[in-house]
Amino acid sequence: MSEKKYSYEELGQISFMIITFAGTAKSDAMLAIYDAKAGKFDDAKLKMKSAEENIIEAEKQHADLVQKEAAGVEIKIPLLLMHAEDQLLSTQTILLMAEEFIDLYKRIDGKK
């Protein structure tokens, strides 16, 4: 079992990375919905691509922590990390919903 422990500062940095990537993904997904509502489906597609790229980066940070904890690295969870995890999970849901909204707007617009 590893003796490595994350410091509060290290977990803060990881938390802010998750928050930043998830926040950018959430913003891009919402902008994609607005574009689709306006009939700008190509723009919506580009924004969703950006959202997906950003959520992948947030998920990588999350997965790294999970893997390290599974390997025996001690992780004491500060409130900031809980907030980051909440942002990640809610953004994942928003991305799924955004895809559905875009599909609905396409149907309304007769593009599908």
- Tell me whether residue 62 is one of the annotated catalytic residues: no
Instruction: Record the tokens describing residue 14, joined without a space.
Output: 């990881």
Considering only CA atoms, which of 25, 2, 4, 7 is closest in space to residue 33? 25
User: Alpha-carbon torsion 67, 16, 77, 91, what sign?
Assistant: negative
> 74 forms bridges with which residues in the sheet?
5
Give me the catalytic one of 5, 49, 83, 107: 83
Distances (CA, A) of 105 to 25, 35, 102: 20, 10, 5
Query: Which residues are identified as catalytic?
Result: 83
